[in-house]
Amino acid sequence: MIYLDHNATTPIAPDVRTEMVSCLDCAFGNPSSIHAFGQEARCIVDRARERVARLIAAQPEEIVFTGGGTEANNLAILGAVTGRESGRAHVITTAVEHQAVLNPCRHLEATDCQATYLAVDADGCVAPESALEAAREDTTLVSIMLANNEVGTLQPVQKVTELLKGRTTLVHTDAVQAVGKIPIDVNALGVDLLSLSGHKLYGPKGVGALYVRAGTELAPLTFGGHQEHGLRPGTENVPAIAGLGKACELAGERLADDAARLGSLRDSLEQHVLAQLDGVTINAADAERLPNTTSISFQGLTADMLAINLDLLGLAVSTGSACSVADQEPSHVLLAMGSSRTEALSAIRFSLGRGNTSEDIMAAVDRVCQAVGCMGGRR
């Protein structure tokens, strides 16, 4: 079986597993306890915090551990709006965000808050000026993803923060798909808040982090103890946090090599599919993209059926975001990019990862051609 669905989730790296198992076996203490058991667990959490911070050029005290990327996004968006001094709130985001950003924004709209969803071009890219044009006196937060999970398009977040300089508006970026795949420096980006998730970078599921720039006013969503500066109260999930820390350390060491190798495998996948099949379109082909991601539309076919046939042939891919698979609705990302409903329903996402080889890619191309042929597609 060949796995080309790394944007849905990644396998745990062996070194991450080792770190987590040793933590489960030996460090059961509560990090808030004063005795040696507690101190040992506290050291593990502190070291993980340093490792996460280093990967994104932040300070350790600016990292808040969360229960994953969705929770980090919710804390950023709802916490920024609740934490504002007073008055009405307005948030700006884009039409191509993950549900973990769109749904908190919709939730706010159901209260006294307004939201603007910026349009994107045919490559899924937002114009930085459109954020400035949409900004109002009461704009509390701008939330623009760093990299799109379905098509891989990188958004000009740094340009947006430059244009918004001097305003009190906070800028958040959902970097869940970007962290570990492209270099990230929160200071160069100029963001106040950045979300990341363990299971997208060969770490465990159910753990993530929110970078909160020092001095940023944010309100917690849950209430309890003092943990994570009171922003995410509750006893820390020490093994998961340790795993996330190790995954970030490994990502920092491997990032340049992984990006170069996966970029060339991705390009080769696209070239071979284009050469061997008719009626194929690479979505967001002209955008600056994540090196591991490609979204390909197969004219006349239904992607759901194609993905099932590919699974039977031993190739795991997806039709878009794993979180919206049950919807059977066309991708809101491709629709926002101008695809028709039928085109959007014919797109498959291939997302490569560390374990993939050039042999995998050639075998994947063969299986795609075979499945498309069987389904009466164009060869």
Cα–Cα dist 296/341, whole Å:
15
* Rounded Cα distance, 286 and 221, in Å: 39
Q: What is the DSSP string of 264-286?
A: HHHHHHHHHHHHH-SSEEEETTT
Secondary element (H or E) of residue 140: strand 139-143
Q: What are the start-end ranges of the H helices in 277-320?
A: 303-312
Give the range of 28-36, 224-232, 319-327, 334-342 binding ligand PLP by CB under 6 A. 319-327
Window contacting ligand PLP (CB under 6 A); options: 64-72, 224-232, 350-358, 368-376: 64-72
- CB under 6 A: which stretch of 27-35, 69-77, 221-229, 304-312 binds ligand PLP? 69-77
How far is it, in rounded angstroms, from Cα 186 to Cα 57?
Answer: 6
Tell me which of 156, 208, 245, 353 binds ligand PLP, using CB under 6 A. 208
Q: Is residue 174 involved in binding ligand PLP (CB under 6 A)?
A: yes
Please say which residue, 291 or 377, places its beta carbon nearer to ligand PLP: 291
Contact call for residue 100 and ligand PLP (CB under 6 A): yes
Which residue among 170, 176, 191, 306 contacts ligand PLP (CB under 6 A)?
Answer: 176
Residues near 136 by beta carbon (within 8 Å), at least 6 away in sequence: 90
The least CB distance from residue 228 to ligand PLP, in Å, is: 17
Nearest distance in Å: CB 177, ligand PLP: 5
Of 51, 98, 232, 367, the residue at the interface with ligand PLP (CB under 6 A) is 98
Residue that the structure tokens 């504002």 belong to: 84
Joined together, the tokens standing for residue 77 give 């968006």
Residue 194 interacts with ligand PLP (CB under 6 A)?
Answer: no
Whether 240 contacts 198, CB under 8 Å: yes
CA-based max dimension of the chain: 68
Backbone angles phi, psi at 148, to 5 degrees: -80, 135
Q: Is 323 a catalytic residue?
A: yes
Return the number of the residue (147 or 365) whose C-beta is nearest ligand PLP: 147
74 scored as a contact of ligand PLP (CB under 6 A): no
H or E element that contains 72: helix 69-82
CB of 142 closer than 8 Å to CB of 160: yes
Minimum CB separation from ligand PLP for residue 27, in Å? 24
- Is 342 in contact with 250 (CB distance < 8 Å)? no
* Listed ranges 51-59, 111-119, 257-265, 321-329: which one lies at the site for ligand PLP (CB under 6 A): 321-329
- Binder to ligand PLP among 3, 12, 56, 70 (CB under 6 A)? 70
Catalytic residue among 23, 26, 113, 323: 323
d(CA 219, CA 140): 13
Task: Candidates 116, 149, 292, 295: give the one binding ligand PLP (CB under 6 A).
Answer: 149
Q: Which residues 16-45 are close enough to bind ligand PLP by CB under 6 A?
A: none
Q: Output 117 or 273, the one with its CB closest to ligand PLP.
A: 117
295 binds ligand PLP (CB under 6 A): no
Q: Which one of the spans 66-74, 126-134, 180-188, 241-249 is the region binding ligand PLP (CB under 6 A)?
A: 66-74
> Which residues are registered as beta bridge partners of 20?
none
Residue with tokens 């209260």: 111
What gap in Å lies between CA 264 and CA 277, rounded to an integer?
20
**Residue 112 Cβ, how far from ligand PLP at the closest point, in Å?**
26
Measure the CA–CA gap between 39 and 130, rounded to whole angstroms: 49
Rounded to whole angstroms, how far apart are CA atoms 286 and 180?
Answer: 22
Residue 118 as a binder of ligand PLP (CB under 6 A): the answer is no
As measured in angstroms, the least distance from the Cβ of 215 to ligand PLP is 25
Q: Which residues bind ligand PLP (CB under 6 A)?
A: 68-70, 73, 98, 100, 145, 149, 174, 176-177, 197, 199, 208, 321-323
Active site amino acids: 323
